[in-house]
Amino acid sequence: MALLQIAEPGQSAAPHQHKLAVGIDLGTTHSLVASVRSTVAEVLPDESGRGLLPSVVHYAASGEIDVGWEARSKAAQDPRNTIVSVKRFMGRGINDIKDIRNLPYQFIDTPGMVKLNTVAGQLSPVEVSAEILKKLRSRAEQSLGGDLAGAVITVPAYFDDAQRQATKDAARLAGLSVLRLLNEPTAAAIAYGLDNASERIYCVYDLGGGTFDFSILRLTRGVFEVLATSGDSALGGDDFDYAIYHWVIDTLKLKALTAEDTRQLLTEARHAKERLTDMVATEICCKLSQGVDIQLILGREVFIELTKDLLNKTFSPVRRALRDAGLQVEDVQGVVLVGGATRMPYLQRSVADFFFREPLTNLDPDKVVAIGAAIQANALVGNRSDSDLLLLDVIPLSLGVETMGGLSEKIIPRNSTIPSAMAQDFTTFKDGQTAMSFHVVQGERELVSECRSLAQFELRGIPPMVAGAARIRVTFQVDADGLLSVTAREQTSGIEANIVVKPSYGLSDTEIAGMLTSGIANAEYDKRMRALREAQVEARRLLDATEIAMMEDGHELLSKSEWDAIWSSIYDLAETLLMGDANSLEALRSATDGLNAVTTEFASRRMDATIQKALSGQQIENIAI
């Protein structure tokens, strides 16, 4: 029992203490943070009571960084150093960014991901996103009153590997421990508490400012599966504002407007759209430069006429997703609306007409994703011991390798449930060939040139054989966050060569470490302290988990000598942990590795026992039925 006291030296969280966890909706235009407080998930507001944080970061020459409302107010006067909608650049190369000429930024074409040249130097989109996350993190820590144990961050369901990796890197940079990247539609479904006992099919219709996403989910006894996703990345609520804007210009036959006038009229158009949610007609009033006075009445009917093509465009992806999932409209038992634009009454009516049922609208469509993420974070961190909530997500795009002729051989097809590990065998092309190069791509097209390139790597040391005799097994492993690692292994000869690649769009650990420490004088020391803290957290976690496991199953699953060996390693690690100074990093790591090694077999036996229990439970229940 003394061992338990050693393993929990004050700082370490007691197993049943409530841990602080948050859900973060890192959006294109706005971001939010939410948390479960006394069983209710709620969005955490800033000091002024505002829940939404504009996803805008301003860099000043003085070195000062503003995030949110303050930053947004600087967009007009200092566009180059005010980064708006950075989410669109995450994990993207310079050729991926649409309308790059119309954006006020100086892009730098760096390998993997673009950078932005600002007064604060060259910045990666990951660093910019990290500023938004830092702001939300400190908001959360202030209002919850403590350090965060972990965060769930939402990403669009269609985000590819590079974009997910970039998001996770940004979170790390912001000092957040990422429990899981969660697809936005899945978060919305969780917010509505759709983890019902009976089997149901739900759709999530998400019309954001600049994008439309549609997803179909199946929920069965607490299991969420994403059956299909689709969308239109160039269609959003802003297009409805543009429709009003163009109508004003056409009606009044206005000449080319200045940038300032355009902005003003667009803002007024957005307000008019919002007013039409509650009113049948509204007045558009604004004063432009050069004394042009605008005063027009816009009726709801005219607005509908102007925008019904836009709205109809959303139903193409809806139909495509239904077909992908092999479903009819009648199979859908609920439709969740997400995004501010879904407040439009005629949109809600159109959705109701399409699905023959009223959509769910009782939660705030701007907050629903963050709330769902908070609920999931609370479960993942272990606050809900009764938790029967399980998410099964899919990868949005197929993963493959390049084969002869520049074609993509799909190894994991899109919409495969994750995590997933799939393998494909390849062979040599020439006699005596000793090396093979692999090009990993993501996308649906046949031609590699039309897919996204994720990584290139070589496998060397293949024993010389005649062409076609070697067998190289390439295994793709996608984890629960949707992130990929690839392994290639030559198998015929018994000689093995392994290689694991990280997508080239992700930042290397060295780059992350560099960003973490940049600007700090004692960078080397700081890096070491951070590494030590991370090692301490992992060591404590391992001690807690091992001790609980020993109490629960140790006597049943271990022999006397195995039991003794594990306790002895627990002692070693607990002792090393108590030393606590920076010099013990290596010792801490080696003691952690030691305990990990000695408990590997125990951990697999425990999982095996869990499987056996789950299977026998099923048989009993089948008999009961």
Partner 1 sequence: MSSLIGTNYFEMFGLAPKFTIDLTSLDYSYRRLQTEMHPDRYAAGTEMEKRLALQLSSNLNDGYRALKHPSSRAQYLINLAGKKEAGNAVSSAFLMAQMEWREAIEEARASKNMQALDALSRRLRHTISAQEKLLAVVLDEQSDFDLAAQRVNEFRFYEKLQIEIDTALDALEN
Give the per-residue contact string, 484-523, with partner 1 (x = CB under 8 A; - = no).
----------------------------------------
542 binds partner 1 (CB under 8 A): yes
319 binds partner 1 (CB under 8 A): yes
479 binds partner 1 (CB under 8 A): yes
Identify which range of 24-32, 103-111, 331-339, 413-421 contacts partner 1 by CB under 8 A.
Answer: 413-421
146 binds partner 1 (CB under 8 A): no
604 binds partner 1 (CB under 8 A): yes
Please check whether residue 69 is in contact with residue 54, taking contact to mean a CB–CB distance below 8 angstroms.
yes
Which position has the token pair 């947004």?
72
**Residue among 53 and 543 whose Cβ is closer to partner 1:** 543
Candidate residues 419, 427, 446, 512; the one interacting with partner 1 per rule CB under 8 A: 419
Residue type, 577: L
Cα–Cα distances in Å, from 419 out to 226, 392, 393, 561? 13, 9, 8, 35
SS3 per residue for 441-473: EECCCCEHHHCEEEEEEEEECCCCCCCCCCCEE
- Which letter does DSSP use for residue 552 in this model? I
**Residue among 68 and 150 whose Cβ is closer to partner 1:** 150
Please check whether residue 354 is in contact with residue 330, taking contact to mean a CB–CB distance below 8 angstroms.
no
For the record, the structure tokens of 453 come out as 């390139």
Binding positions for partner 1, 10-69, rule CB under 8 A: 19
222 binds partner 1 (CB under 8 A): yes
For the record, the structure tokens of 173 come out as 């940079």
Q: Which one, of 199, 209, 275, 269, lies nearest residue 237 by Cα?
A: 209
Candidate residues 308, 323, 349, 460; the one interacting with partner 1 per rule CB under 8 A: 323
Identify which range of 87-95, 217-225, 255-263, 278-286 contacts partner 1 by CB under 8 A.
Answer: 217-225
For the record, the structure tokens of 99 come out as 């309308």
Q: Exposure of 198 by Cβ count < 10 A (0-12 exposed, 13-18 middle, 19+ buried)? A: exposed
Candidate residues 295, 312, 403, 417; the one interacting with partner 1 per rule CB under 8 A: 417
Q: Which one, of 67, 22, 17, lies nearest residue 42 by Cα?
A: 22
Candidate residues 141, 538, 553, 572; the one interacting with partner 1 per rule CB under 8 A: 538
DSSP percent split of the chain into helix, strand, coil, nearest 5: 40, 25, 30
Please state, in angstroms and rounded to a whole number, the distance separating the CA atoms of residues 91 and 70.
26
Please check whether residue 71 is in contact with residue 132, taking contact to mean a CB–CB distance below 8 angstroms.
no
221 binds partner 1 (CB under 8 A): yes
Within 13 Å of residue 354, how many CA atoms lie on the same side as its CB? Answer: 22
**Residue among 568 and 618 whose Cβ is closer to partner 1:** 618
Q: Which one, of 237, 223, 235, lies nearest residue 340 by Cα?
A: 237
Candidate residues 4, 480, 531, 585; the one interacting with partner 1 per rule CB under 8 A: 480
C-alpha dihedral sign at 37, 42, 44, 50: negative
Q: Exposure of 18 by Cβ count < 10 A (0-12 exposed, 13-18 middle, 19+ buried)? A: middle
Which of these is catalytic: 19, 87, 115, 168? 87
Helix (H, G, I), strand (E, B) or coil at 359: coil
Q: Exposure of 399 by Cβ count < 10 A (0-12 exposed, 13-18 middle, 19+ buried)? A: buried
What is the closest distance, in whole angstroms, from the C-beta atom of residue 323 to partner 1 in the complex? Answer: 6
184 a catalytic residue: yes
620 binds partner 1 (CB under 8 A): no
**Residue among 363 and 381 whose Cβ is closer to partner 1:** 381
Please state, in angstroms and rounded to a whole number, the distance separating the CA atoms of residues 293 and 268.
13
- Which letter does DSSP use for residue 291 in this model? G
Helix (H, G, I), strand (E, B) or coil at 209: coil
The strand pair at 53-54 and 56-59 is best described as unpaired
Candidate residues 220, 262, 361, 487; the one interacting with partner 1 per rule CB under 8 A: 220
287 a catalytic residue: no
What is the closest distance, in whole angstroms, from the C-beta atom of residue 333 to partner 1 in the complex? Answer: 18
Please state whether the peptide bond connecting residue 419 to the residue before it is cis, i.e. omega within 30 degrees of 0. yes
Candidate residues 136, 187, 391, 591; the one interacting with partner 1 per rule CB under 8 A: 391
Give the per-residue contact string, 360-389, with partner 1 (x = CB under 8 A; - = no).
-------------------xxxx-----x-
Which of these is catalytic: 66, 127, 160, 184? 184
546 binds partner 1 (CB under 8 A): yes
Identify which range of 51-59, 204-212, 513-521, 541-549 contacts partner 1 by CB under 8 A.
Answer: 541-549
**Residue among 133 and 380 whose Cβ is closer to partner 1:** 380
Identify which range of 3-11, 539-547, 551-559, 581-589 contacts partner 1 by CB under 8 A.
Answer: 539-547
Please check whether residue 566 is in contact with residue 598, taking contact to mean a CB–CB distance below 8 angstroms.
yes
109 a catalytic residue: no
Candidate residues 404, 614, 620, 624; the one interacting with partner 1 per rule CB under 8 A: 614
**Residue among 319 and 349 whose Cβ is closer to partner 1:** 319
Helix (H, G, I), strand (E, B) or coil at 107: strand
Candidate residues 80, 320, 527, 528; the one interacting with partner 1 per rule CB under 8 A: 320
Cα–Cα distances in Å, from 261 out to 210, 266, 386? 21, 8, 56
Please check whether residue 376 is in contact with residue 352, taking contact to mean a CB–CB distance below 8 angstroms.
no
25 a catalytic residue: yes
473 binds partner 1 (CB under 8 A): no
Candidate residues 73, 85, 264, 316; the one interacting with partner 1 per rule CB under 8 A: 316
Identify which range of 59-67, 185-193, 566-574, 608-616 contacts partner 1 by CB under 8 A.
Answer: 608-616
What is the size of the binding site for partner 1 (CB under 8 A)?
51
Cα 214 to chain centroid, rounded: 16
**Residue among 286 and 392 whose Cβ is closer to partner 1:** 392
Residues serving a catalytic function are 25, 87, 184, 206
Binding positions for partner 1, rule: CB under 8 A: 19, 149-150, 179-180, 220-223, 316, 319-320, 323, 379-382, 388, 390-392, 416-422, 477, 479-480, 538, 541-542, 545-546, 596, 599-600, 603-604, 607-608, 610-611, 614-615, 617-619, 622
